[in-house]
Amino acid sequence: METAVFLSFAVLLLSALILLLGLRRRNLPPTVPGGLPIFGHLLLLGRQRQPLHRALADFSAAHGPSLLLRFASLRVLLISSPFAAGECLNTNDVAFANRPFLLAGKFLAFDYSSVGVAPYGPYWRDLRRILTAELLSPSRLQSFAGARADEVCSLLRCLFSQSTFNWFEVEMRQKLTDLTFNTVMRMIDGKRYHGETLSVTAENGRRFQRIVQEVFRLSGAACLEDYLPAMRWLGLGGMTKRMKKLGEEMDVLFQGMVDERRLRRRSPEMMEEKEEKTIVDVMLELQQDEPAQPGNYSDKVIKGMISGIILAGTDTSASTVEWALSLLLNHPEALQKAREEIDGQIGHDHLISDSDLHRLPYLHNVVKETLRLFPAAPLLLAHHSSRACTIQGYGEVPGGTMLLINAYAIHRDPRWWKEAERFKPERFEEGEELGGSDQGFRFLPFGSGRRRCPGEALAHRMMGLALGALIQCFEWERVGKELVDLREGEGLTMPKLIPLKAMCRPRQVMINVLSHL
């Protein structure tokens, strides 16, 4: 055992020395002083005591917008400028179209079968085609408009029932999470898992919620075993075992969904009248109709699709609405402007709907400004280079390099944004996010290039409808005189460190509408 440990660390140390000598010879991007043999910059980051996106932003501010770091055995290119981001996601898009093979993708995305983590190639292109042309097409999104409206109404009824027409304190995080989770799950398998009129038992709903929350937690956690394979080989760390066990639970849960929808399709009497076709239904049709396609749309592929849509579509949207409401509470003049726009365009005799959103540009700009300040994925999803390429005039960055683009740092850089730290939705009326051709990509809440998030349209509909309805139907104030705390927490989707609590009261002009929901 001791011999194996010694040999493992000796190999890592030798690799680190070879890598360091190679960097000096090839005029690669600068690095950050303080990296250690074997561990590279991992321990340096661990001492920062702040979220990873902030620690990496500090690195870039001190040492430059294009840095080459080392996370133990893995070479990492850190980009924090829009021009360099454009070179990676446009000029060298194909070279960086891969994803790194991290443990979360293996165990929590069904062996990299989810579109978000699948390797670039024919399989990924086929998944992407299904997602954009079948599952998240404009017509398919429109078919789920009723589900989105139902879930927003459920949230409004919950708040209205608590109010007794007076001010009351409410914590919004769990309510928004239930809203987005139910919306996405009704798209996936037609069921509600939280709140009123459940489609599953309360016990199964809690079990599902526990598993999904654990998936989010482990997906966003730093996993040393990704960067120090010796830990995995020697059974150290424990993250591999935890992910594997959770993946087995997910497999049982999602296979149950697939089997139930398959049974319903074979038994028409089980289908409800005018029941919308779910995402699982569409995938099962493809499984039956196109057996020659790669993977035959196997159950594993379907489960990977379920996993990817849940991870990308639930916590991200809920977190963004929570951030948006927090920012509006700290800027009551912006909240009033958004309310006046809704009142002027929608009125007080009916609830805001999907079809109204295009008439509410200021509301849309509030969402965009929220995503600028608090992007749902502050480091985007990591890319991985399949071949060497040149970035920012440096020597060729070798293939096999992981790419991290710090959207958080780019979005708050005063070189690219006027009053970069200020919440100012009006900046998007002036086209400030477009910049000039020399400024590259400076607004990247959904990424860019081939791996751009395919759920952008769905996210904007969910976030716009939920936020618009809350503004239209209720008055909002802070709890006390203190500003809402805007510190970020740790995690894949950059949640608020402290869940939002606010004072809420039904608007008098909307009482009639709320009473008839």
Q: Is 389 annotated as a binding residue?
A: no
DSSP states along 408-450: HHHHT-TTTSTTTTS--GGGGTTTTTT--GGG-----TT--GG
CB within 8 A of 95, min separation 6: which ones?
Answer: 385, 386, 387, 388, 389, 399
Q: Return the number of other C-beta atoms located less than 10 Å from residue 34's C-beta.
A: 10
Contact 40, 72 (CB under 8 A): yes
Q: How many CA atoms lie within 13 A of 228 on its CB side?
A: 25
Query: What whole-number distance in Å separates Cα of residue 13 and Cα of residue 22?
Result: 14
**101 in the Ramachandran plot: left (φ > 0), alpha (ψ -120 to 50) or beta?**
beta
SS3 assignment, position 36: strand
d(CA 127, CA 115): 6
Token readout for 453 is: 């998030």
Sheet holding 74-79, edge to edge: 66-71, 74-79, 402-405, 383-384
Buried b (16+ CB within 10 A) or exposed e, 203-231: eebeebbebbebbbebbbeebbbbbbebb
Strands (E), 129-276: 168-171
Q: Are 99 and 111 in contact (CB under 8 A)?
A: no
Query: In Å, how far are 54, 56, 77, 86, 496 from 405, measured between CA atoms?
Result: 12, 10, 8, 10, 21
* DSSP sequence for 453-514: -TTHHHHHHHHHHHHHHHHHHEEEEESSSSPPP--B-SSTT--BSS--EEEEEE-GGGHHHH
| DSSP H or E segment with residue 79 | strand 74-79
The pair of structure tokens assigned to 381 is 């999803």
Measured distance CA(111)–CA(290) in Å, rounded: 22
- Phi, psi (degrees; rounded to nearest 5) at 265: -65, -30
Rounded Cα distance, 155 and 167, in Å: 17
Cα 149 to Cα 157: distance, rounded to the nearest angstrom: 12
Phi and psi of 391, rounded to 5°?
-130, 130
Do the beta carbons of residue 342 and residue 472 sit within 8 Å?
A: yes
* Annotation: binding site: 453
* Annotation: binding site for heme: 453
